[in-house]
Structures are given as C-alpha cells and as structure tokens.
C-alpha cells in the first residue's frame, strides 16, 4: 500500500502515513471502485402497444394496403411483427383473412364460370355448324 499524498510504501491496514501523517481511513472510505452496470435495452412501454389507433392511422394502413404486393407484405409485417400495436396486429390479421377468403372465392368462381363458358362455347359451335 502506498500513501496517495507522498508515495511512501506503508503496511496494509495502516491508519496514518509515517512520513507525512496522511490519514488513510478517510481516503479509503471516500474512494470506492466505480460500479458499472450492464445497459438495459429500452422496452417499449406496454401502454404504447395497447394504445387505440386513430382514424388517420386506419386510413394510412388502408392506403398502404391498396398498393399491390407492398400492401400484402405490410399486412404480414403488421400481423406477425413482435413490436406492433395489438390493435394494428389484430386489424392486419383480419385483413389477411379477408384476402384469403376473397382469393379462394375468386379462384372458385373463375373455375365455375370458366367451365360454364367453355361448355357454352362448345355447345354453340355445335349448334352453328
């Protein structure tokens, strides 16, 4: 142990420096090793994730949804993103269900009307010739 005032080597546990008379207990008590804490990542407040959406936010989400392919991608991001507002997440999941229903109905009706149109075309060609 060395005296912080004069630099004389002293015995461990000494209360005073034998060279200059500096008291060690006060300096040892006043000096403490700084404690460093690991920084904590900021989590979004729970209130922000449950806050109701405004009319403008619904309008912008619908507007983005009208853009081909980008809207579909954004529906998936909003529906399954980890830090999304729960109301936006539920809304996007409902939109994806509607997209799925409309796609299935479109394909089904296309097949039915396509088959009917093909059958009508075949019947008309036999009638005319």
Q: What is the pLDDT of residues 29-64, one digit of tens each?
A: 445 566 777 777 665 555 588 899 999 999 999 999
Helix (H, G, I), strand (E, B) or coil at 126: helix
pTM higher than the cut 0.75: no
Q: How far apart are CA 98 and CA 122, in angstroms?
A: 36
**d(Cα 70, Cα 66) in Å, to the nearest integer?**
8
- Do 96 and 78 contact (CB within 8 A), yes or no? no
Give the domain extent around 71: 53-128
| Amino acid 47: pLDDT | 59
Residues 70 and 108 in one domain: yes
* Number of compact structural domains in the chain: 2
pLDDT at 52: 92
| pLDDT < 50 positions in the chain | 26-30
Same domain, 60 and 106: yes
Same domain? For 24 and 78 the reply is: no
- For residue 5, give both structure tokens: 């005032």
User: Residue 26, Cβ neighbours under 10 Å: how many?
Assistant: 10
Which pLDDT value is given to residue 129?
57
9: which residues sit within 8 A by CB, 6+ positions away? 1, 2
CA angle 61, 101, 53 (to 5 degrees): 25
Q: Is residue 36 part of a domain?
A: no
Q: State residue 5's pLDDT score.
A: 79
- 27, 69: one domain: no
**Are 60 and 12 within one domain?**
no
């Amino acid at each position: 142990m060395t005296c912080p005032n004069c630099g004389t080597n002293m015995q461990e546990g000494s209360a005073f420096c034998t060279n200059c008379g500096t008291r060690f207990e006060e300096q040892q008590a006043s000096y403490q090793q700084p404690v460093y804490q690991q920084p904590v990542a900021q989590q979004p407040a729970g209130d922000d994730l449950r806050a109701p959406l405004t009319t403008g936010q619904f309008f912008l989400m619908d507007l983005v949804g009208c853009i081909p392919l980008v809207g579909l991608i954004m529906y998936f991001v909003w529906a399954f993103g980890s830090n999304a507002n729960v109301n936006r997440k539920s809304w996007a999941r409902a939109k994806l269900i509607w997209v799925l229903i409309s796609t299935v109905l479109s394909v089904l009706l296309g097949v039915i009307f396509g088959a009917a149109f093909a059958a009508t075309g075949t019947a008309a060609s036999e009638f005319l010739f």
